[in-house]
């Protein structure tokens, strides 16, 4: 523990977040995130035990049954399977959103930027999508859907682009600007969908929600009942976004430049990369993913947006934990989005039996688990320690020292 | 002033310097708007127009002579002064007098600014020692909840505040352990700390108070009643009945300035934040100083949170702080990591909140338009961190974990 991981660096250079992450990505495959998760759940369980005196195992079991993941077990009864299928669709709907909001954090992170504004970018995406979906009645089906998705994503990109632009030009810290933009969207939604607001549904004057989007803009539901929020094709859009993310980072010049800036902005500048441009584009593309998430949710299952939908949502924040736990890699983000999707759905008011554990408590438990995950993921010394431990283990297993 | 200037050149008097002219222009722009408000309430567009144009002229004169930001700000101030001034002359006097009651507005500004002041000064201790504290928000939230919880359980606001401070320190300790000893990324850990606080306070709130919501009959932090001031013009309505914590924040302001810039402790904190290796070499314990600084910031942020719940809104709700920790952070940056600068910035943010609070009176009952005014302090924060008035230079070693050698 006393020796430094690299030969003594000159004073004043510290690893950028992206460089730290690179180390973290090298260290120990999927084992460390798994340990992180188990550890976070363990501490969450302790909190349950100490604060409420409930049995944490039965609590987690109840949450698990609410996720619908027991659908995968062959031994459950027919009736249970129907409920489980219904729950699993809800879990995967959330996974769809979280993949996209996770990508919104991950892409910026690769450029050394911390985009906490996923929430606001998601909100503006859904606001624009609901506006497009409920107007432009001349457009039919697919073009209408495409217009809503493209404009929603671009709105997210524009919002994040503001933070990127300010970072690139005057050096305003993106954490503060994106948080402030979140709050601006939070209150703007109160106006936009509030009474007398521009997008409020005039046919029900006292309810703060938008009009419904046109029925031909609904995304196709391929699993489950379309009326009861079955799984829509947006799930594949999210999977496609994962592929696009991977291609963009690993197969394009832009991705290379973004990563270079993330590792070391000075070196990147010296190599002739436009650092400001990369920062702006990285933020804008991040916002694109979050805006897409908002649009897909509106077209897929929400169909209208209310003040409470925007002000009560936290998918953008969960995206932070998704990205960091998934180590900003495409497969990692998929699995951690599934984990958090399951956790959020399993603790929802609809799925968790209040006799066993109050859903309001469980939702706060989810927040704590997110916090714990971030705490451990952010701590590369712990990871390094585990990694070194594994190396030592491998050293003992093999008789000859590793080269 | 002896004119030693060469013929054909203006003497470069400091009073007429480009920058000062710019500042004068900013003042003229503000004046253009102010004239149209009570108590003067000019009803003609002439006055705001004259002063606004003077401001613009001063701004242009200033920028032509290298006034830089001050000059451009004067132009902006003049244009805004004209816009708002003309708008104000168009609205009815009754409306204006309802909204712009200066003494009430200033008292309200102080109430909104106080939680920010506490948190920003807390943040100053942490950041001056080299540790970024994004977790201020969470520490305020801990203070808010545990203040209410403690006051409710012990039936004493003083013990409530004490418990709040302990809770804030506890959360700050987590932040300190991970950022100082484990050398984790300070921004990520700060975010983690915020999530932890949000989850923990929400969890405890639901499990202790359940569906019925926060207790309403909690002991509150008292107001300080200064009877002899009550009848003094203007000063009375502002200062005669301020909350104890607001006075405490004034005291803290002075104290923190003296500690930070006039004592050995402050010198050590600043040394550790500027050049930890040098500080280490002369025998200052970098880790111990940083631990103390971060935990102080937790205590102060929690005080701000406790004032918010026990002295200001008199209740608790989940996520009651609503981003105030981040606004405090922006105030700190805006105020160039100095107590009085941070206080001035906090007053500015407080004023925008106070104004946002009163403007809705302008609109019909039930209208959603006033919701937009809640945006004001957040918008102002973005403008502030974007550095409209000069760039602030952070402590040199900020955000960098220190490794002992």
Tell which of A10, A115, A180 to mutate to test the B interface (max B CBs under 10 Å): A180
How many domains does one find in chain A? 1
Distance between A174 CA and the closest CA of chain B, angstroms: 10
CB count, 10 Å around CB of A135? Answer: 14
Q: In this structure, is the dihedral angle defined by the CA atoms of residues B353, B356, B361 and B367, taken in order, positive or negative?
A: negative
Test A170 with B386 for CB contact under 8 angstroms.
yes
Q: Which of A173, A195, A370 sits opposite B366 (nearest CB)?
A: A195
| B221 & B253 share domain | yes
B198 touches A: beta carbon within 8 Å: yes
B278 touches A: beta carbon within 8 Å: no
CB contacts < 8 Å between A and B, how many?
A: 171
Q: What is the pLDDT of residues A232-268, one digit of tens each?
A: 999 999 999 999 999 999 999 999 999 999 888 889 9
Q: Write out the residue range of the structural domain in which residue B93 sits.
A: 18-99
The yes-or-no verdict on residue A2 having pLDDT over 50 is: no
Test B184 with A195 for CB contact under 8 angstroms.
no
Domain harbouring A182, CATH code: 1.10.3470
Q: What is the pLDDT of residues A341-358, one digit of tens each?
A: 988 888 887 777 777 777
CB count, 10 Å around CB of B222? Answer: 11
**Assigned domain for A12 exists:** no
Tell whether ipTM is more than 0.85: no
| B169 & B233 share domain | yes
- B140 near B190, Cβ under 8 Å? no
- B401 near A14, Cβ under 8 Å? yes
**Assigned domain for B399 exists:** no
**Position with higher pLDDT, A76 vs B98:** A76
To the nearest 10°, report the CA torsion of A9, A15, A19, A20.
Answer: 110
Q: Which chain A residue's Cα is nearest to B175?
A: A375
DSSP per position, A173-230: -HHHHHHHHHHHHHHHHHHHSSTT-TTB-TTSTTS-BBPPPPGGGSPPEEES-TTTT-
The top-scoring range by mean pLDDT among B8-22, B79-93, B244-258, B351-365 is: B244-258
**Assigned domain for B391 exists:** no
* CA pair distance B8, B228, nearest whole angstrom: 59
Q: In this structure, is the dihedral angle defined by the CA atoms of residues B308, B313, B318 and B321, taken in order, positive or negative?
A: negative
CB count, 10 Å around CB of B156? Answer: 14
| B272 & B228 share domain | yes
Q: What is the pLDDT of residues A161-177, one digit of tens each?
A: 999 999 998 888 888 89
**Assigned domain for A194 exists:** yes
CB count, 10 Å around CB of A77? Answer: 9
| B226 & B88 share domain | no
* CA pair distance B224, B233, nearest whole angstrom: 19
- Give residue B57's pLDDT band: very low, low, confident or very high (50, 70, 90): confident
Phi, psi of A222 (to 5 degrees): -105, -10
Tell which of A367, A368, A385 to mutate to test the B interface (max B CBs under 10 Å): A367
| B122 & B194 share domain | yes
CB count, 10 Å around CB of A291? Answer: 35
**Assigned domain for A396 exists:** no
| B85 & B211 share domain | no
Where among B99, B122, B157 does a domain terminate?
B99
The three-class DSSP label of residue A231 is strand
**Assigned domain for B350 exists:** yes
Tokens of A358: 């109050």
Poorest-pLDDT segment among A44-53, A76-85, B152-161: A44-53
| B307 & B267 share domain | yes
Test A371 with B184 for CB contact under 8 angstroms.
no
* CA pair distance B338, A10, nearest whole angstrom: 30
| B88 & B106 share domain | no
The yes-or-no verdict on residue A337 having pLDDT over 70 is: yes
Q: What is the pLDDT of residues B185-220, one digit of tens each?
A: 888 899 899 999 999 999 889 888 876 777 777 888
A380 touches B: beta carbon within 8 Å: yes
Q: Write out the residue range of the structural domain in which residue A144 sits.
A: 17-389
CB count, 10 Å around CB of B78? Answer: 28
């Amino acid at each position: 523990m006393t020796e430094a991981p690299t030969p003594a660096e000159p004073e004043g250079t510290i690893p950028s977040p992206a460089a730290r992450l690179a180390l973290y990505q090298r260290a120990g495959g999927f084992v460390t995130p798994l340990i992180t998760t188990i550890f976070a759940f363990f501490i969450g369980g302790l909190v349950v035990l100490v604060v409420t005196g409930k049995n944490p195992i039965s609590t987690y079991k109840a949450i698990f049954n609410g996720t619908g993941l027991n659908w995968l077990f062959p031994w459950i009864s027919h009736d249970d399977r129907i409920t489980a299928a219904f729950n699993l669709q809800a879990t995967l709907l959330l996974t769809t959103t979280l993949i996209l909001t996770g990508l919104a954090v991950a892409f910026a992170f690769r450029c050394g930027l911390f985009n906490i504004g996923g929430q606001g970018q998601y909100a503006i995406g859904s606001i624009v999508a609901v506006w497009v979906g409920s107007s432009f009645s001349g457009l039919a089906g697919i073009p209408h859907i495409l217009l809503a998705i493209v404009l929603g994503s671009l709105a997210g990109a524009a919002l994040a682009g503001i933070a990127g632009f300010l970072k690139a030009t005057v050096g305003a810290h993106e954490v503060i600007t994106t948080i402030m933009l979140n709050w601006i969207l939070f209150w703007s939604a109160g106006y936009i969908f509030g009474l007398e607001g521009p997008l409020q549904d005039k046919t029900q004057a006292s309810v703060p929600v938008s009009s419904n989007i046109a029925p031909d803009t609904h995304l196709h539901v391929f699993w489950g009942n379309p009326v009861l929020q079955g799984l829509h094709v947006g799930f594949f859009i999210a999977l496609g976004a994962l592929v696009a993310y991977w291609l963009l980072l690993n197969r394009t010049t832009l991705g290379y430049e973004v990563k270079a800036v993330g590792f070391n902005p000075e070196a990147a500048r010296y190599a002739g990369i436009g650092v400001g441009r990369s920062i702006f584009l990285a933020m804008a593309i991040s916002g694109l993913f979050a805006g897409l998430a908002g649009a897909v949710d509106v077209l897929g299952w929400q169909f209208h947006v209310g003040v409470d939908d925007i002000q009560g949502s936290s998918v953008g924040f969960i995206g932070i934990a998704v990205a960091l736990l998934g180590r900003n890699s495409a497969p990692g983000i998929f699995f951690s989005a599934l984990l958090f999707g399951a956790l959020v759905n399993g603790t929802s008011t609809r799925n968790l039996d209040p006799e066993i554990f109050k859903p309001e408590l469980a939702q706060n438990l989810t927040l704590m688990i997110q916090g714990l995950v971030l705490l451990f993921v952010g701590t590369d010394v712990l990871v390094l320690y585990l990694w070194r431990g594994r190396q030592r283990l491998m050293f003992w297993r093999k008789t000859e020292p590793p080269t | 002033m002896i004119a030693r200037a060469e013929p054909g050149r203006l003497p470069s008097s400091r009073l007429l310097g480009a920058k000062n002219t710019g500042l004068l222009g900013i003042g003229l722009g503000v004046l253009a708007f102010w004239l149209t408000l009570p108590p003067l309430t000019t009803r003609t567009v002439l006055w705001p127009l004259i002063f606004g144009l003077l401001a613009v002229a001063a701004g242009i004169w200033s920028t032509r002579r290298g006034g830089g930001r001050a000059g451009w700000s004067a132009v902006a101030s003049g244009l805004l002064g004209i816009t708002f001034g003309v708008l104000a002359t168009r609205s009815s006097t009754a409306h204006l007098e309802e909204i712009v009651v200066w003494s009430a507005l200033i008292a309200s500004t102080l109430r909104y600014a106080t939680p920010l002041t506490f948190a920003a000064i807390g943040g100053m201790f942490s950041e001056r020692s080299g540790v970024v504290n994004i977790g201020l928000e969470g520490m305020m939230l801990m203070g808010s909840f545990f203040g209410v919880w403690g006051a409710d359980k012990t039936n004493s606001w003083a013990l409530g505040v004490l418990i709040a401070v302990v809770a804030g320190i506890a959360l700050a300790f987590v932040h300190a352990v991970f950022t100082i000893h484990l050398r984790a990324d300070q921004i990520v850990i700060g975010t983690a700390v915020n999530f932890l606080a949000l989850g923990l306070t929400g969890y405890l709130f639901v499990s202790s108070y359940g569906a019925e919501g926060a207790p309403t009959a909690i002991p509150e932090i008292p107001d300080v009643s200064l009877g002899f001031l009550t009848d003094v013009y203007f000063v009375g309505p502002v200062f005669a009945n301020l909350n104890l914590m607001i006075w405490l924040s004034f005291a803290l302001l002075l104290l923190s300035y003296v500690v930070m810039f006039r004592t050995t402790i402050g010198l050590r904190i600043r040394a550790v934040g500027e050049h930890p290796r040098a500080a280490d070499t002369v025998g200052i314990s970098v880790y111990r100083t940083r631990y103390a600084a971060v935990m102080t910031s937790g205590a102060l942020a929690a005080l701000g949170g406790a004032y918010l719940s026990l002295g200001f809104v008199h209740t608790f709700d989940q996520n009651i702080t609503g981003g105030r920790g981040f606004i405090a952070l922006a105030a700190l940056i805006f105020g160039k990591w100095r107590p009085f600068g941070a206080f001035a910035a906090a007053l500015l943010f407080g004023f925008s909140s106070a104004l946002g609070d009163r403007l809705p009176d302008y609109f019909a009952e039930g209208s959603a338009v006033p919701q937009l005014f809640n945006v004001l302090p957040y918008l102002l924060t973005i403008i502030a961190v974007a550095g409209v008035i000069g760039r602030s230079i952070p402590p040199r070693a900020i955000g960098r974990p220190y490794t002992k050698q």
